[in-house]
Copies of this chain bind each other. A is one copy, B any other.
């Protein structure tokens, strides 16, 4: 099974969900210390993060915080549109504050430090790429390379491959 219960990519999408089972969740859920911590972590880091990453840092504020609570809150926060799930290739879901994802954008993953960064703007115009009969509704673009910090850092072991191997 995949993660079909929720929208796998929080980008532009229109899901004609036939089952009205899921009642629209009230936006005013309880304000708990743990949810505040999660929100704070995402805000202070300012980059897409994984649940375990978030837990690690949020524990500084709420030591007894459990991973299950992180997952539950993240899911709830996605539901109310406070945060957005960021699907990265071959990896698990990352999350970031929704206001950062307000406008469609892409992501950059540093091959050195493994961190993920937002890239403003959208290349767009991929509708033509799909074969005859295919309807394109959304897309995900992820760039890989070396971030500014790692690139400037002279402590790189051996020469970093800086030639773009894009065709």
Contact = CB atoms under 8 A, between A and B. Distances in A.
Contacts of A122: 166-167
A142 to B, nearest CB: 5
A149 to B, nearest CB: 8
Main secondary structure of the interface of A (DSSP, over half): loop
A139 B101 CA distance: 20
A158 B12 CA distance: 20
Given A12-B166, A148-B131, A137 B161 contact: yes
Given A14-B161, A87-B91, A138 B134 contact: no
A108 interface: yes
Contacts of A142: 89, 139-141
B144 A141 contact: no
Given A92-B90, A93-B90, A123-B123, A137 B145 contact: yes
25 contacts: A1-B114, A3-B89, A8-B89, A8-B90, A9-B90, A9-B144, A12-B166, A16-B159, A18-B157, A88-B90, A89-B140, A104-B166, A117-B134, A123-B126, A123-B129, A124-B167, A127-B164, A133-B151, A135-B164, A136-B145, A137-B164, A137-B165, A138-B144, A140-B142, A140-B144
